[in-house]
Structure 1
């Protein structure tokens, strides 16, 4: 009977990648593809293509890893300053070749020690350890900084120690702690491997391979490194330094929590920060068309928050001043300064009133990207979240305003899952930073009335934020009703989605132009800045009076004898009030040349009705059907 043959691996390139990736952790390198596996002579570092996944297309969007080019898999190791005192510019390639690697230097000054170091690490003769392992944390940090600054041996200025202490404090590392062991073998009998068993749970949590006293290839917070013990403290070492590390907490098992009604006064009140929109530990959003006032409005709000003055609510009370971090991911810092100076000038805000509670930054100077696209995968940038939360805590920030949201991620906006992850990441910043995060977002193109569903991208964005405001520019019809000359200078703010408070009436705003007076020569006014200020919709009585005045103006220049003639004609014949009728009263005005067209005729009839000269009378027409007719008022 013929023995069953094992099925061939349908994806051998996947298995090969994982093996080479393990080798890369072992020798502190990156997985790459070489141009030609049969000839390494003459290749340089720029000829290599880094890959981070077996299905990854590489840095240039080509050189896809396939079963046919497995032999091109290799590992690039450089930065040998971490291990030895030479080979700073050396690059060493380890060609995998199915498990029998070739080690060869391809760049830099010839350095046999670098090649030997990688070879020994592969063969297990000597672990690949940074040269500052074994030093106390403070001394190790000073040496790392000295190398980066290019100081020669023995030259260590005092400020270097201060910088090292600050770095360790940020990583919560005790500068006086003892260093980790230098790799001496543990006591063991001949039948047991000489490994530090304390590393076993760390290997289970972070991956990697234990060799002697070191866990190689551990991945912590997305960064590769090594874990060792000093006394009873575990340390995680990377190319940039070391920090203490502990095992992640095991998640609690799922359990249902009983609920019972008690005293509602014992429930903590929601921590509203400003305007029943900003709330601590939640993400909120403002959505509107480009140029619709979102950015300028957020600047006026930021000044109101940091000063505690009701700049956008003249009848409102003073509030507790807040600390605000206003971030524009697109505009340069000088444009941010112009906008805030313009708003401060308009509202009479002084630097003393700001009180050091306002922080502004530009995405051109610092990266504020919370999610990046790597091939087909969307990766949340965990180091950015850590840095963001740390700075929020350090500055005691109450509100972070991000403008625009789209510039903080590389996700596909029509991908609901991706948008949910990105928005959830900002919710994490709000929660861990104990602050409110406001995301200023655009709407899709060709939108009419902006609603919560108009936000660009998937609906997951709307569903993830706690409160969403929508911005709509005043329409031409609204402008005519309100009696304003330039409707585009006015906009309204509505709560498009409110989870925590009942929605109210629209809040109206308008743009005013503020000269900075930063010009030179004859043009002293300089830049003109659009500043958002509060505006109230006129009352119903005011609108009615304005409309009546406008109608009266339409007939103000009509001679009395002309009006008398119109009355005679209307009395003698039956002219209807309905514009659709063949015998509409407005046609009389057009035929006699009193009105230039239907709109003017309509306005003139309305004005004379308002003035009590004409009236609408209900009567039967020639067909014995009741209709509305326009007749002169009796006795007038």
Structure 2
């Protein structure tokens, strides 16, 4: 039987703690002129929002820590280091629960060097802590179930308010509690506690999490490891995916290039349109102490005709005119792409996909035309000829 006396005591205590009348339900809706309504308080792109939790998920070793470091520097320096809009005057707290401070110092210093962020741009605005020096545990598992560690939450609230933190990044989420990550009830409780903390402190909180194994299939934010309640509690979720071997070939990245390229896709968004896929890569930065450190930077997928002009097309047309090279890339040395590669200084083997895209684009525009020409055995073969000449 329910203890109504105890419930009454709890209700009286609740009312005493909320003298503004927050316990009076239901609350009457009062219409306001749309012009008077406040805009959503975004702080970084359409991913981080005050009073809300955002989640970033990625497989191990893709570059999520490097990414969040550069994003933190972008926010405190008030510069769009990765092309994302940032609010002004932000204080950022990076709380890495895996790496020691020496490693964090190396990564941050390398990122500042690579993106030309000066020390005075981050002074007094960037805060960095590690789980090696101070563990963070927001919840523990007991016989009765998961229990929120209130002293830890209250300590975080005090520190966020005292330092006027606008954005807090917790990396990784799994190290911030001791509950079973497959327990959806527990994860829901913990995630909502983070959301309450963000609301109380008027800050944005980013929880960085790992994906489960996807066996080579591109991950989504729903592939985050453990219970789905974490993503459900977030108002923005994004996923990082490493560039595939096929994509590397399409982009013309040479096999000996060991650089990590990855995509960032905001595929879960309750308060903004879902974002398009953007590319990043991890550049290797040499520090004066001899260390090489990976730093995230913006990267654009190369355009088929990057570095070439209409003069180059005209040169290709002159080289093709009257020769009727074969359209098929299976024609060996008779393939039209061999001529294109020779004229443009490309490799007909390594750059095959790019050359094929060029030929298709020229056919579509009418710069080249396809026609049937009999070979030595009098069999008709699709070949290329000049169509509309390019302008000088």
2:47 to 260, 277, 297: 277
How much has 1:498 moved relative to structure 2? Answer: 1.0
Question: Matches of 2:306 and 2:24 in 1, distance apart?
Answer: 62
Q: Is the 8 A contact 2:45 2:85 kept in 1?
A: no
Q: How many pairs are equivalent?
A: 346
Encode CA deviations 1:187-225: one digit per residue, 9 max, x unaligned. xxxxxxxxxxxxx99x9559xxxxxxxxxxxxx9xxxxx
Q: How does 1:473-488 map to 2 (within 5 A)?
A: 473-485=242-254, 486=257, 488=259
Question: Matches of 2:128 and 2:59 in 1, distance apart?
Answer: 23
Q: Is the 8 A contact 2:221 2:267 kept in 1?
A: yes
Aligned to 1:471: 240
Question: Matches of 1:354 and 1:480 in 2, distance apart?
Answer: 39
Q: Is the 8 A contact 2:44 2:85 kept in 1?
A: no
1:534 to 298, 319, 341: 298
Aligned to 1:225: none
SS at match of 1:321: coil
Q: Is the 8 A contact 1:473 1:487 kept in 2?
A: no
Aligned to 2:73: 303
| 1:325 is aligned to 2:77 | no
How much has 1:312 moved relative to structure 2? Answer: 1.5
Question: Matches of 1:260 and 1:613 in 2, distance apart?
Answer: 66
Question: Matches of 2:143 and 2:110 in 1, distance apart?
Answer: 43
How much has 1:503 moved relative to structure 2? Answer: 2.7
Encode CA deviations 1:526-560: one digit per residue, 9 max, x unaligned. x1110111122233543998xx99xx8xxx9xxx9
Change (3 A) 1:630 1:517: same
SS at match of 2:32: coil
Aligned to 1:506: 277
Q: Is the 8 A contact 1:481 1:543 kept in 2?
A: no
SS at match of 2:306: helix
How much has 1:380 moved relative to structure 2? Answer: 0.9
How much has 1:308 moved relative to structure 2? Answer: 1.0
Q: Is the 8 A contact 1:482 1:543 kept in 2?
A: no
Q: Is the 8 A contact 2:267 2:275 kept in 1?
A: no
How much has 1:306 moved relative to structure 2? Answer: 1.1
Question: Matches of 1:269 and 1:608 in 2, distance apart?
Answer: 49
Encode CA deviations 1:496-522: one digit per residue, 9 max, x unaligned. 10111123332221111112222xxxx
Aligned to 2:262: 491
SS at match of 2:157: helix
SS at match of 2:297: strand
Question: Matches of 1:356 and 1:293 in 2, distance apart?
Answer: 26
1:515 to 286, 298, 303: 286
Q: Is the 8 A contact 1:323 1:398 kept in 2?
A: yes
How much has 1:477 moved relative to structure 2? Answer: 2.4
Q: Is the 8 A contact 1:476 1:487 kept in 2?
A: no
Encode CA deviations 1:423-455: one digit per residue, 9 max, x unaligned. 111112211222111001110013521212111
Encode CA deviations 1:217-241: one digit per residue, 9 max, x unaligned. xxx9xxxxxxxxxxxxxxxxxxxxx
SS at match of 1:542: coil
Instruction: Say which structure, 1 or 2, has more relative contact order (CA 8 Å, 6+ apart).
Output: 2
Encode CA deviations 1:555-603: one digit per residue, 9 max, x unaligned. x9xxx9xx98x97xx9xxxxxx899xxxxx749989xxxxxxxx97xx6
Q: Is the 8 A contact 2:188 2:233 kept in 1?
A: yes
- Unaligned runs of 5+ residues in structure 2 are 336-347, 375-379, 387-392
- Unaligned runs of 5+ residues in structure 1 are 1-199, 207-219, 221-245, 519-524, 571-576, 580-584, 591-598, 620-627
TM-score, length of structure 2 as denominator length? 0.75
Q: Is the 8 A contact 1:332 1:363 kept in 2?
A: yes
Q: Is the 8 A contact 2:56 2:208 kept in 1?
A: yes
How much has 1:256 moved relative to structure 2? Answer: 3.5
Question: Matches of 1:302 and 1:376 in 2, distance apart?
Answer: 39
Q: How does 1:241-390 map to 2 (within 5 A)?
A: 248=17, 255-259=25-29, 261-313=31-83, 319-375=87-143, 377-390=145-158
Encode CA deviations 1:453-502: one digit per residue, 9 max, x unaligned. 11111221111001111111122222222223337521121111011112
Aligned to 1:410: 178
* C-alpha RMSD over aligned residues: 4.1
Question: Matches of 1:513 and 1:479 in 2, distance apart?
Answer: 18
Encode CA deviations 1:331-366: one digit per residue, 9 max, x unaligned. 111111111111111122222111211111111111
Q: Is the 8 A contact 2:75 2:86 kept in 1?
A: no
Aligned to 1:456: 225
1:430 to 198, 201, 217: 198
Question: Matches of 1:503 and 1:510 in 2, distance apart?
Answer: 22
Change (3 A) 1:613 1:265: closer
How much has 1:266 moved relative to structure 2? Answer: 1.5
Encode CA deviations 1:291-331: one digit per residue, 9 max, x unaligned. 11110010001111111122112xx7785131111000111
Aligned to 2:382: 630
Change (3 A) 1:317 1:276: closer
Change (3 A) 1:327 1:586: same
Question: Matches of 1:252 and 1:302 in 2, distance apart?
Answer: 35
Q: Which structure has the larger Rg?
A: 1
SS at match of 1:339: helix
Aligned to 2:338: none
Change (3 A) 1:515 1:487: closer
Q: Is the 8 A contact 2:95 2:129 kept in 1?
A: yes
Question: Matches of 2:280 and 2:187 in 1, distance apart?
Answer: 30
Question: Matches of 2:244 and 2:68 in 1, distance apart?
Answer: 22
SS at match of 1:496: strand
